[in-house]
Amino acid sequence: MSTDGTSPRPLLAGVAKADITGSPAEQTEDPLYAAVDAARGTDRLYVTALVLRDEATTIALVSVDAVAIAEIGSIDDGYLVNVRTQLGADPGIEAAHVLVNASHCHGVVCADVEARTVQAVREAAAGLEPVHVGVGRGHEDRIMENRRLQLLDGREADVRRAYSLPADEQIASVGPVDPDIGILRLDRTDGRALALVYHFACHPILGVADGGNTADLSGFASRAIETGLGEGATALFLQGCCADINPVRYRDVNDPPDAEAMGERLGLSALRAAREIDCDGDASLHVISEHIDLPREDLTGHIDALEAEQKRLLGSLRPTALNLKSFVSLSVRHSLSARYPADASHRYLHEQSLGRDDLTRLDETNRGLLDQYGDNVQIMEQLTRIQVNLGLLKRHQERYIQAGGRPVAAEVIGLRVGPFALVMFAGELSVQTGLRLKQASPHEYTCVSGVSNGYLYYTPTAEQLRNRGGAQEDSDCFVASEWQGLFEGKALEILGRL
């Protein structure tokens, strides 16, 4: 009962989405470009808006099929402020109650994505209707892997397309994944599904075979969910703590990329869990939005150390008589026959009968050359990794100088819809951060989303930041390691107050 003795109003919800697929003319309205995209097998990118309202609060939860909503990608930096301002005027949603999560796919959106976002939210707000709420959890562990590699020497590397992997014998272990699919289901009062919010942690960067514009894993997953639920239901994807989580077979060179198969697997796993959820109750809304100041890191020392390692590795390259062609030829011959690589066995036996060992000595020389060339290759691969990550560190050091070393303000938002709790943050969070916060949360159903309400690049754990320069997450990062304690403390405080 409410304070005046009447029954509380049920939660109201409305959902809408708009096509934001970019095209050569940046206009997805043009049927010609849409037809060309369809012919290439390109799927569509969407902005999906869910508006929720109870007696005291209205919120808009928005998912955008884009890599981020600021800093990188095809969305302007002013997008969030402009969207919040326009929605504050109509339909009157507080700025801090407009929550935007990027799916983190690497698709290209249309030029007027801001206007289409506002329109989608307004349409959702205009279609509010009573709903019942259910929450649950799905499971999927077959489509992703942790891309950080712990090496035997104590350092870490990562799995990227930008450079080579360390040698197999150097790798000791890999990090964890989070197989949970967090689910918030909203049904109309007649039992028909209205919307399904599903939360999962994985970089949607696999791509499609023809290289076309794509919403990637989450786009295909949403389509599978909507088809499975039917009756006009809408799926809304929330990206989790995906910073160090790749799709499996991300670097596969034997088969074309196929996000559709893995995305449908994710969608079916979410759908299977959603069908077990009973939507039998009302729910109230609670939103808390606060800011914390995160310290920036002066990266000068890290850059100097990496440049010194670069110089050392360059100096360790050894001269060799081989080139790539002769190295491959010799490698094949020595792998086919370690005992008789240079010629047929009877030639060796013939030489031995004459008291000569010319072929044997040639083999010994060639083995040394193979070792030298192989060592040089591994050194060059290390130099490639250093070159890429050093560039990232230098870019963020320039930003440190431009900012005068001042801390950066970061928004931390907590949302609770009945038993469903969500924490949102602008950085790309490592999966360990999400696992730790979920374990410590007072709410059974807790989700943690990065790349939300802005973009702060990678925000690795303090432990991972000891490895600056060794992996992308550690290098494409401008915050100091103290950020983790500040964020996690604020996140848990907010969760406790929701």
Q: pLDDT by residue for the chain (498 residues), tens digit each?
A: 344 444 457 899 999 999 999 975 454 444 444 444 444 445 899 999 999 999 999 999 999 999 999 999 999 999 999 999 999 999 999 999 999 999 999 999 999 999 999 999 999 999 999 999 999 999 999 999 999 999 999 999 999 988 999 999 999 999 999 999 999 999 999 999 999 999 999 999 999 988 889 999 999 999 999 999 999 999 999 999 999 999 999 999 899 999 999 999 999 999 999 999 999 877 899 999 999 999 999 999 999 999 999 999 999 999 999 999 999 999 999 999 999 999 999 999 999 999 999 999 999 999 999 999 999 999 999 999 999 999 999 999 999 999 999 999 999 999 999 999 999 999 999 999 999 999 999 999 999 999 999 999 999 999 999 999 999 999 999 999 999 999 999 999 999 999
Report the distance separating Cα 242 and Cα 341, nearest Å. 48
Query: How would you classify residue 130: left for phi > 0, otherwise alpha for psi between -120 and 50, otherwise beta?
Result: beta
Is residue 47 within 8 Å of residue 123, measured between CB atoms? no
**Exposure letters 343-358 (e unless 16+ CB within 10 A, then b):** eeeeebeeeeeeeeee
- Enumerate residues 6+ apart whose C-beta is below 8 A from 37: 21, 23, 44, 212, 213
What pTM was computed for the model? 0.92
Say how many residues make up the chain: 498
Q: What angle do CA 231, 237, 242 make, to 5 degrees?
A: 160
- Enumerate residues 6+ apart whose C-beta is below 8 A from 211: none
Q: Which among 195, 225, 150, 193 has a CA at the least distance from the CA of 48? A: 195
For residue 419, cis peptide bond before it (omega within 30 degrees of 0): no
CB atoms within 10 A of CB 464: 25
Q: What angle do CA 201, 206, 207 make, to 5 degrees?
A: 130
Structure tokens, 482: 């103290």
SS (H, E, C) 447-480: EEECCECCCCCEECCCCHHHHCCCCHHHHCCCEC
> In 3-state terms, what secondary structure has residue 38?
helix
Report the distance separating Cα 396 and Cα 91, nearest Å. 39
* DSSP class of 296: B
> Inter-axis angle of helices 483-497 and 431-440, to 10 degrees?
40
Q: What angle do CA 370, 372, 377 make, to 5 degrees?
A: 90
| Residue boundaries of the structural domains of the chain | 12-295+407-497, 300-402
pLDDT, tens only, 288-313: 999 999 999 999 999 999 999 999 99
